[in-house]
Structure 1
Amino acid sequence: MITVMVVDDIPSARELVSNYLREAGYQVISAVDGQEGLQKFEQLKPQVVITDLVMPGMSGLELCRAIKKSEQTVPVIACTSKNTELDRMWGLKQGINIYLTKPFKREELLKAVRSLTGEE
């Protein structure tokens, strides 16, 4: 079973994404911020990380950079309200594999996860 970690400081957003993933058959780990996300990433080794970019403490971009420096190669999906072209380009330059803007559709999220896990 593929494990996906969802990192978002907003409980309702974290739960929405987590529920979409569970309904699609994924095992889900959740974290409330980048610090907790990095700790769980190192301990539990998810195959995909989905993160908000704007969070207190460690941002989603900082989390992404830390993940990309690790020995484990893991794709990162950004789910964020930051939707300018500059935001998107900067995120991709920092190592984000797929950049989704909120609000997004369930199928858009699942398609992104499937494309990164080779399920498509």
Structure 2
Amino acid sequence: IPEEKVIKPVPLTPAVQEMEGARILVIDDEDSVRKILYQMLKAKGYQVVVASSGEEGIERFKQEPFDLVFTDLGMPRMSGWEVGKALKEIDPKVPIALITGWGVELNREKMKETGIDLVVSKPFSFDEVVRLVSEAMELKERI
């Protein structure tokens, strides 16, 4: 086969390479949301850890490294805003995605001061979650 006819694999960008084995923490008080996100992310080959409260999520975050965190906005005892702020104090380089079902227009200033980098609205699709992880990995490269 002539050299010019051989199809060579395109090298992966660092963000895409990192994405393949990304460690993702999902913090949500709703079992159904945790399970759906877990299954979506596992299907793409990510390593996924789940926590059912902000406090549990923060403890897990302190114990092991993560590449991305999904946190629900409306949880008992500790909101997603508070979780985001606490996690950024521990590691400011990890992107944090806020999950919201409230359909509210999120204040950019509040997002910035609480460490929220990305937002995903419920209900979300598989494609939206995959796109968000990709955005988060690119963002992590720049942080």
Q: TM-score, normalised on structure 2? A: 0.76
Report the counterpart of residue 13 of structure 1 in structure 2.
33
C-alpha deviation, 1:90, in angstroms: 5.5
**1:21-56 per-position Cα deviation (integer Å, ceiling 9, x unaligned):** 000000000000100000000101211000101111
C-alpha deviation, 1:92, in angstroms: 2.1
Report the counterpart of residue 99 of structure 2 in structure 1.
79
The answer as to 2:125 corresponding to 1:105 is yes
Counterpart mapping for 1:17-36 below 5 A: 17-36=37-56
Structure 1 runs not aligned, ≥5 long = none
Q: TM-score, normalised on structure 1? A: 0.90
Looking at structure 1, the residues matched to 92 and 109 of structure 2 have their Cα atoms a distance apart, in angstroms, of: 23
Report the counterpart of residue 95 of structure 1 in structure 2.
115
Q: Which moved more, 1:94-103 or 1:65-74?
A: 65-74
The root-mean-square deviation of aligned C-alpha atoms, in Å, is 1.4
Looking at structure 2, the residues matched to 58 and 40 of structure 1 have their Cα atoms a distance apart, in angstroms, of: 15
Looking at structure 2, the residues matched to 88 and 11 of structure 1 have their Cα atoms a distance apart, in angstroms, of: 27
The answer as to 2:101 corresponding to 1:63 is no
**Equivalent residue pairs, number:** 117
C-alpha deviation, 1:68, in angstroms: 1.1
Preserved CA contact (<8 Å) 1:92 1:99: no
> Sequence identity of aligned pairs in percent?
34
